[in-house]
Amino acid sequence: MFRTRVKICGITRAEDALAAIDAGADALGFVFYPKSPRVISIEQAANIMSMLPPFVSKVGLFVNADAAEIREVLACCPLDVLQFHGDESAEFCASFAMPYMKALRMRDDLDLSAAIRSYSAASALLLDSYKPGVPGGTGESFDWQRIPSNIDIPVVLAGGLKPSNASAAIAACHPYALDVSGGVELAPGIKCAQKMTEFITAIRCADRRED
């Protein structure tokens, strides 16, 4: 049975990180984007990461950050994957010599095939909704039928996911992983243990149905 992976993004509190892992999350996202309501300091993130058990991926999210800022985070936080959610070039993303995901915002005129070719060295492509002026964490979904079935890089689906639409998202495009932030929150940056459990339970049910 294929197991759709789950990333819970926008962790700012240790108790939420541990609740996400208890619920079955495979990866936790830490937002190092100063304008996000879910931004976390390097010190806070390092402290939370020091409490985590092994075998949970720690993902650092950046939006058009300088290489120096990213290196400062990497010096203190044991990140497994970088998530680039801005206009970073493929060369920039690859320059840290570690696994990365490139977020592609699905604006109507996006040439998805060209973007996939550009970021062919990415470990995964994260497909998110497009909302002008907002780089991510929009809480809005996009038309999942726009995702071609033949992408040969793992697809992480994001944008407006929540317990009530996780199953439909999997049925629509069979992604490698779902990435959620706002859909499992009580308030920006404050996760809800019950919603995280409901989200991951819905995914496991969908996985069984797809088998």
Indicate which residues carry an active-site annotation. Answer: 9, 128
93 near ligand LGQLAAA5, judged by CB under 6 A = no
Least spacing, CB of residue 211 vs ligand LGQLAAA5, in Å: 26
Nearer to ligand LGQLAAA5, 52 or 175 (CB): 175
Closest-CA residue to 21 (of 32, 30, 8, 12):
8
Q: How far is CA 179 from CA 16, 113, 161, 162, in A?
A: 15, 22, 8, 10
Residue of 24, 99, 154, 160 that binds ligand LGQLAAA5 (CB under 6 A)? 160
38 near ligand LGQLAAA5, judged by CB under 6 A = yes
Residue of 11, 31, 52, 82 that binds ligand LGQLAAA5 (CB under 6 A)? 31
Residues near 152 by beta carbon (within 8 Å), at least 6 away in sequence: none
- Rounded Cα distance, 67 and 96, in Å: 8
181 near ligand LGQLAAA5, judged by CB under 6 A = yes
- The mark string for 129-148 relative to ligand LGQLAAA5 (x by CB under 6 A, - otherwise) is ------xxxxx---------
Residue 166: count of CB within 10 angstroms of its CB: 25
**157, 179 in Cβ contact below 8 A?**
yes
Nearer to ligand LGQLAAA5, 80 or 211 (CB): 80
Token readout for 87 is 């206009």
Taking the CA atoms of 78, 34, 184 and 168 in sequence, report the sign of the dihedral they define.
negative
The contact set with ligand LGQLAAA5 (CB under 6 A) reads: 9-10, 29, 31, 33, 36, 38, 61, 63, 85, 126, 128, 135-139, 158-161, 179-183
